[in-house]
């Protein structure tokens, strides 16, 4: 028994957030303003994602929270505990068994299904922000579909680095209309944005919610002669041997030894349970 209303927020607030979510789903990629509440955690720790999750959760849901793909980092653990305390919902670390997944900076490796909802924590929802600081101007650019500036950023990348060096928060065009910041997911995850599950994006400090409905076209911006590439470290996972998952690089000692491990801990764990092995799995590293 706890003293909180279900999932912490009061019913009127959840209703307001649900209306913003529905509007976001109706206009894919459009940033819907909403009256973001103070949450019992600092801005930058996922206040937007938490509010969207709170408005989405039902008592029957099973929640999974990941931070950079991992279930066991501070941010993920504390948000999971928060909803255990305030909503009393089941939680899980297994992607397949979750109905609502709140994520920071990753899309799970396992293919998501139509009965799942993926909630992103978004720091800066405006993809044009660092090119055009005025909110009035960026809104006008969205409404008039003036997205030339986005390509100026990619042009700068190529002219300075010889390739598009933007590797996370890579801008996408949703359903042929709105240019959207997919939150700071690695561009390796961009192709996965076209998925079966509902994707909701919450930015608490910036007070914006946006969404990508299932089976919606999401195109990563690029040039004809410099096409989009989903990149990852060119290694297999050192624990489970996976060659197609996004990897974290971990420095092991002062001698320059390093290992690469799946950033999606649940994916890596389940592969090891199935008997897959990587370069370092015999040494009992983890």
- Is 240 catalytic? The answer is yes
Cβ distance to other proteins smaller for residue 58 or 165: 165
Cβ distance to other proteins smaller for residue 84 or 157: 157
Q: Which of 24, 48, 204, 268 is catalytic?
A: 268
The torsion angle over the Cα atoms of residues 21, 102, 272 and 185, rounded to 10 degrees, is 80
- Is 29 catalytic? The answer is yes
How far is the CA of 15 from the CAs of 12, 18, 51, 57, 202, in angstroms? 5, 5, 11, 12, 15
| Under 8 Å between Cβ of 51 and 79 | no
The C-alpha atoms of residue 75 and residue 274 are separated, in whole angstroms, by: 28
Interface ranges with other proteins (CB under 8 A): 131, 144, 146, 148-149, 151-152, 155-156, 158-160, 223-226
Give the other-Cβ count within 10 Å of 15's Cβ: 11
- Is 237 catalytic? The answer is yes
| Under 8 Å between Cβ of 21 and 209 | yes
- Is 256 catalytic? The answer is no
Cβ distance to other proteins smaller for residue 16 or 219: 219
Q: Which of 48, 69, 202, 262 is catalytic?
A: 262
- Is 241 catalytic? The answer is no
Q: Which of 29, 48, 69, 278 is catalytic?
A: 29
Q: How far is the CB of 146 from other proteins (least distance, A)?
A: 7
Cβ distance to other proteins smaller for residue 4 or 223: 223
Look-up: residue for tokens 């006008």?
140
The C-alpha atoms of residue 276 and residue 193 are separated, in whole angstroms, by: 27
The C-alpha atoms of residue 1 and residue 4 are separated, in whole angstroms, by: 9
Q: How far is the CB of 163 from other proteins (least distance, A)?
A: 10
| Under 8 Å between Cβ of 126 and 47 | no
Cβ distance to other proteins smaller for residue 10 or 137: 137
Hey, is 120 helix, strand or coil?
strand
- 62-67/90-91 β-pairing: parallel
The C-alpha atoms of residue 54 and residue 40 are separated, in whole angstroms, by: 13
Q: How far is the CB of 83 from other proteins (least distance, A)?
A: 41
The C-alpha atoms of residue 247 and residue 236 are separated, in whole angstroms, by: 8
Q: How far is the CB of 78 from other proteins (least distance, A)?
A: 37
| Under 8 Å between Cβ of 115 and 99 | yes
Q: How far is the CB of 132 from other proteins (least distance, A)?
A: 9
Cβ distance to other proteins smaller for residue 6 or 228: 228
Q: How far is the CB of 185 from other proteins (least distance, A)?
A: 24
Which active-site residues does the annotation give? 29, 237, 240, 262, 268
């Amino acid at each position: 028994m706890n003293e909180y209303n279900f999932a912490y927020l009061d019913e009127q607030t959840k209703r307001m957030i649900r209306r913003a979510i529905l509007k976001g789903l109706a206009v894919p990629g459009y940033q819907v303003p909403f009256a973001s509440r103070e949450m019992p955690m600092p801005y930058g720790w996922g206040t937007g994602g938490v509010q969207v999750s709170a408005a989405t959760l039902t008592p029957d849901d099973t929640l999974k929270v990941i931070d950079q793909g991992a279930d066991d980092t501070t941010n993920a653990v504390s948000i999971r505990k928060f909803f255990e305390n305030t909503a009393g919902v089941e939680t899980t670390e297994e992607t397949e068994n979750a109905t609502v997944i709140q994520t920071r900076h990753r899309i799970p490796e396992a293919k998501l299904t139509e009965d799942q909802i993926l909630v992103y924590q978004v720091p800066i929802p405006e993809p044009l922000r660092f090119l055009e600081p005025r909110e009035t101007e960026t809104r006008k650019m969205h409404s008039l579909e003036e997205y030339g500036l986005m390509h100026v950023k990619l042009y700068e990348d190529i002219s300075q680095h010889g390739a598009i060096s933007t590797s996370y928060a890579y801008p996408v065009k949703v359903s042929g209309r709105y240019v959207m910041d997919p939150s700071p997911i690695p561009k390796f995850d961009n192709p996965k944005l076209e998925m079966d599950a509902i994707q909701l994006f919450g930015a608490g400090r910036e007070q914006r919610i946006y969404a990508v409905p299932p089976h919606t076209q999401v195109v990563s911006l690029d040039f004809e002669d410099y096409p989009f590439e989903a990149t990852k470290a060119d290694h297999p996972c050192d624990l489970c041997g996976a060659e197609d998952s996004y990897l974290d690089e971990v420095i092991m000692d002062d001698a320059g030894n390093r290992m690469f491990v799946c950033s999606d801990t649940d994916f890596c764990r389940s592969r090891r349970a199935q008997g897959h092995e990587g370069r370092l799995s015999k040494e009992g590293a983890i």
